[in-house]
Structure 1
Amino acid sequence: MAQRFVAPLTDEELEVLTAAYHHGEKRALRRRAHAILLSHQGYTINQIRDILQVTRDTISIWFKNWETAGLSTLVDKPRCGRPSILDAQDVDRLQDLVQQHPHQLRTLQARLQEDTGKRFSAATLRRALKKTDTASNVSDIP
């Protein structure tokens, strides 16, 4: 089986990929940039597969996308989904309530529903708390 490597990288491409690998916002981008950098360094697809724990086909797709359109193809595209029930203003209010009522999930839910006029589940509240890193202040958040 013939070995597949990415085309030799320019200094500019190396710089962009290294920055994406070290400072990329999403893990997926960092992994894809890492795979391309490893290929540039002479690692085979099988070696990269073992390092990153992904399939050969996945790595081949990353290489093909990189060679076709560059860094933009390594970034995940926005995905569709239902918009959040709680907006930024609601989340700010939630953070204030956590300061007033720490360790009281049901109280937080009731107060926020009363303040916003919105109905939502405890699971929605947990997700909002986890996103704001205030979940540690509420004892019954798994």
Structure 2
Amino acid sequence: MKFIAPLSEAEHTTLNEAYHAHPSFRVRQRAQALLLNARGYSMAQISEWLDVQHETVSRWLKHWEAEGRVGLLDAPRSGRPPLLSEAEADQFIGYIDENPHQLK
């Protein structure tokens, strides 16, 4: 059974705000897990409640302890490279703004 260090008022506020208002479901779920852990719920209870693996909850707690609120966020992932450069995308958006009737 693993528990994080007691939360400061600022940490509790940060987690509560993330749980209630962050646009990412994953961040909200991680914040909820940390708040539940701070209230004394075990990793087994949290994993059952949130329908995730025990190891997942353990990893979330480790990330919080090592990185603080940055640990709530997803790590950057590789993916398909963009088709347009940033300059080309800006140029394209400018064209659309100038000629919206020609989109059909």
**Is the TM value for this pair above 0.5?**
yes
- Distance of 2:50 and 2:91 partners within structure 1: 39
Q: 1:89 and 1:27, CA in 2 relative to 1: closer, same or farther beyond 3 A? A: farther
RMSD value over aligned CA atoms?
A: 2.3
Stretches of structure 1 that go unaligned for 5 or more consecutive residues are 102-142
- Distance of 2:32 and 2:52 partners within structure 1: 12
Q: 1:70 and 1:84, CA in 2 relative to 1: closer, same or farther beyond 3 A? A: same
Kindly report which structure 2 residues correspond to 1:50-65, keeping only aligned pairs within 5 A, or say none: 50-65=48-63
Q: 1:46 and 1:24, CA in 2 relative to 1: closer, same or farther beyond 3 A? A: same
Q: Which residue of 1 aligns with 2:76?
A: 78
Q: Which residue of 2 aligns with 1:35?
A: 33
Stretches of structure 2 that go unaligned for 5 or more consecutive residues are none
Q: Which amino acid aligns with 2:46?
A: I
Kindly report which structure 2 residues correspond to 1:1-142, keeping only aligned pairs within 5 A, or say none: 3-85=1-83, 87=89, 90=92, 93=96, 96=100, 101=104
Relative to the length of structure 1, the TM-score reads 0.59
Partner secondary structure for residue 78 of structure 1:
coil
Partner secondary structure for residue 9 of structure 1:
coil
Relative to the length of structure 2, the TM-score reads 0.77
Partner secondary structure for residue 74 of structure 2:
coil
Q: 1:89 and 1:38, CA in 2 relative to 1: closer, same or farther beyond 3 A? A: farther
Q: Which amino acid aligns with 1:34?
A: Q
Q: How much does 1:74 deviate?
A: 1.4
Q: How much does 1:23 deviate?
A: 1.5
